[in-house]
């Protein structure tokens, strides 16, 4: 079970989490709980580090910020004990959760669960601070913001857990954002691949990284609401969304599974579109664009190279996070001579709309349905990109909600 910062913000909320955890134990499960810091606490600690030194040493930053989860793990153990169950905290260095030494963005290696399993076997509930680990040279590491989801999946994998229940601000994964489409349906199941595509296009229910790890390790992840009543039934029978492999989904849903071609529709307004015009159409030209951006740690998403014209020149369009747009433009100006383009056209007022579904693999016409539905409502498609289980288009940002509603209906996703 994993609870985020909102669930751990103060005595009353931690007590409610303790009740939810106990109920799960009462249903016959051995339980390990991964917790975040109280909401706001990590920001407070990060701020102290920035004030100390804007170019802070990430090793000491990790010592400071890991304290937030240490506090909540001890407190949850105390609350569970107060309700009458055995509990103890296991800090990152105590298990230990081995990581590499990339401080502030460490990656988990192995987790030693021997003592943990022995303790859980005696009926003791294990409480583990998320986000933190131990480097090979014995120093505190952290996984980067939002790393507690990843901690939870990693612990579940190491324990060979039946399930990893992640309690979030939403009660599951929906066919699209319910704030945009009232008729959005909660999905009972979604595959890892679909979840990854949905996560990477703005449906931020889970950290992408935690989903990747779950897929790699085969951990069944359930997304649940942290706002359930403390006396709700245990999570086995709660209607969250289960994230599973395609094989398991096939078993669960039977051969009819592929009748559902599209699983969900996501919208992402945090991208900006950049076009470089009249680039020489020669080998290596594209590398001169994206090399400097990669070096500056700017994450380029869609890349579209238009058909070369007779002139031996081409236009290249790509998207970057809108927060990086100014830096991107500056870098491109700086490397103008090397790249050899004519003009930069930047547009921050775009939205990326994606339809996602494993069912589309075996079906033609998914993209055509999308283009037609949008065209019928006069929505102009600026750019298209596709992957095996996703079709994404860039449109004018003002048309985001309209496009999502149109597509939700076009693919038959609306609830009754």
Nearer to a second copy, 7 or 89 (CB): 89
Question: What's the min distance (Å) between Cβ of 81 and a second copy?
Answer: 6
**Residue 245, burial from CB neighbour count under 10 angstroms (0-12, 13-18, 19+):** middle
Q: Which two tokens stand for residue 333?
A: 């100006």
Q: Which two tokens stand for residue 235?
A: 């999570």
Binding positions for a second copy, rule: CB under 8 A: 11, 14-15, 45, 48-49, 51-53, 56-57, 59-64, 66-68, 70-71, 73-75, 77-79, 81-82, 87-89, 91, 93-94, 138-140
Task: State the sign of the Cα–Cα–Cα–Cα dihedral 127, 199, 190, 17.
Answer: positive
Q: Which two tokens stand for residue 131?
A: 């986000």
Q: How far apart are CA 222 and CA 226, in angstroms?
A: 12
Residue 168 preceded by cis peptide, ω within 30: no
Q: How far apart are CA 137 and CA 110, in angstroms?
A: 15
Question: What's the min distance (Å) between Cβ of 226 and a second copy?
Answer: 19
Nearer to a second copy, 37 or 355 (CB): 37
Q: What are phi and psi of 361, to 5 degrees?
A: -55, -45
Question: What's the min distance (Å) between Cβ of 72 and a second copy?
Answer: 9
Question: What's the min distance (Å) between Cβ of 48 and a second copy?
Answer: 6
Question: What's the min distance (Å) between Cβ of 28 and a second copy?
Answer: 25
- CA count, 13 A, side-chain hemisphere, 20: 28
Nearer to a second copy, 63 or 298 (CB): 63
Question: What's the min distance (Å) between Cβ of 51 and a second copy?
Answer: 4
Nearer to a second copy, 51 or 388 (CB): 51
Q: In what helix (H) or strand (E) does residue 405 lie, and over which residues does it extend?
A: helix 400-410
Nearer to a second copy, 14 or 325 (CB): 14
SS3 for 372-385 is HHHHHCCCCCCEEE
Nearer to a second copy, 81 or 277 (CB): 81
Nearer to a second copy, 115 or 252 (CB): 115
Question: CB within 8 A of 23, min separation 6: which ones?
Answer: 230, 231, 232, 233, 234
- Please tell me the total number of residues recorded for the chain in this structure: 416
Nearer to a second copy, 142 or 191 (CB): 142
Helices (H), 58-132: 58-82, 114-121
Contact yes or no for 248/220 (Cβ under 8 A) = yes
Question: What's the min distance (Å) between Cβ of 108 and a second copy?
Answer: 20
Q: How far apart are CA 153 and CA 163, in angstroms?
A: 9
Question: What's the min distance (Å) between Cβ of 69 and a second copy?
Answer: 9
Nearer to a second copy, 75 or 187 (CB): 75
Question: What's the min distance (Å) between Cβ of 60 and a second copy?
Answer: 5
Nearer to a second copy, 82 or 368 (CB): 82
Contact yes or no for 103/141 (Cβ under 8 A) = yes
- What is the bridge-based pairing of β-strands 164-168 and 313-321? unpaired
Question: What's the min distance (Å) between Cβ of 39 and a second copy?
Answer: 15
Question: CB within 8 A of 349, min separation 6: which ones?
Answer: 396, 397, 398
Nearest C-alpha neighbor of 71 from the set 130, 151, 119, 155:
130
């Amino acid at each position: 079970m994993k609870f985020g910062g909102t669930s751990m913000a103060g005595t009353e909320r931690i007590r409610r989490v303790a009740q939810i955890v106990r109920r799960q134990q009462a249903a016959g499960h051995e339980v390990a709980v991964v917790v975040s810091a109280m909401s706001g606490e990590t920001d407070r600690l990060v701020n102290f580090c920035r004030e100390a030194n804007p170019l802070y040493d990430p090793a000491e930053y990790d010592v400071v910020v890991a304290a937030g989860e240490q506090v909540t793990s001890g407190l949850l153990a105390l609350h569970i004990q107060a309700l009458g169950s055995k509990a103890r905290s296991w800090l990152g260095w105590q298990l230990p959760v081995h990581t590499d030494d990339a401080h502030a963005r460490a990656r988990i290696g192995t987790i030693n669960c021997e003592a943990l399993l022995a303790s859980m076997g005696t009926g003791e509930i294990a409480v583990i601070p998320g986000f933190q680990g131990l480097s090979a040279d014995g120093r505190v590491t952290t996984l980067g913001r939002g790393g507690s989801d990843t901690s939870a999946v990693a612990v579940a994998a190491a324990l060979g857990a039946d399930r990893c229940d992640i309690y979030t601000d939403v009660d599951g994964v929906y066919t699209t954002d319910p704030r945009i489409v009232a008729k959005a349906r909660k999905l009972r199941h979604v595959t890892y691949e679909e979840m990854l595509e949905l996560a990477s296009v703005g449906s931020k229910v889970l950290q992408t990284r935690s989903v990747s790890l779950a897929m790699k390790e085969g951990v069944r992840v359930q997304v649940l609401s942290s706002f359930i009543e403390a006396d709700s039934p245990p999570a086995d029978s709660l209607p969250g969304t289960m994230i599973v492999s395609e094989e398991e989904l096939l078993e669960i849903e039977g051969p009819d599974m592929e009748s559902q071609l599209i699983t969900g529709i996501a919208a992402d307004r945090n991208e900006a579109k950049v076009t470089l015009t009249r680039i020489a159409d020669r080998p290596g030209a594209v590398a001169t664009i994206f090399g400097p951006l990669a070096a500056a740690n700017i994450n380029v998403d869609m890349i579209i190279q238009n058909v070369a014209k007779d002139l031996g020149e081409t236009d290249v369009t790509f998207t970057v996070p809108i927060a990086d747009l100014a830096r991107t433009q500056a870098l491109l100006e700086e490397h103008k001579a090397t790249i050899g383009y004519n003009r930069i056209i930047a547009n921050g007022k775009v939205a990326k709309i994606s339809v996602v579904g494993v069912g589309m693999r075996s079906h033609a016409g998914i993209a055509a349905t999308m283009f037609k539905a949008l065209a019928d409502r006069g929505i102009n498609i600026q750019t298209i990109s596709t992957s095996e289980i996703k079709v994404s288009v860039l449109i004018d940002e003002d048309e985001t909600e309209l496009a999502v509603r149109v597509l939700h209906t076009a693919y038959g996703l609306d609830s009754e």
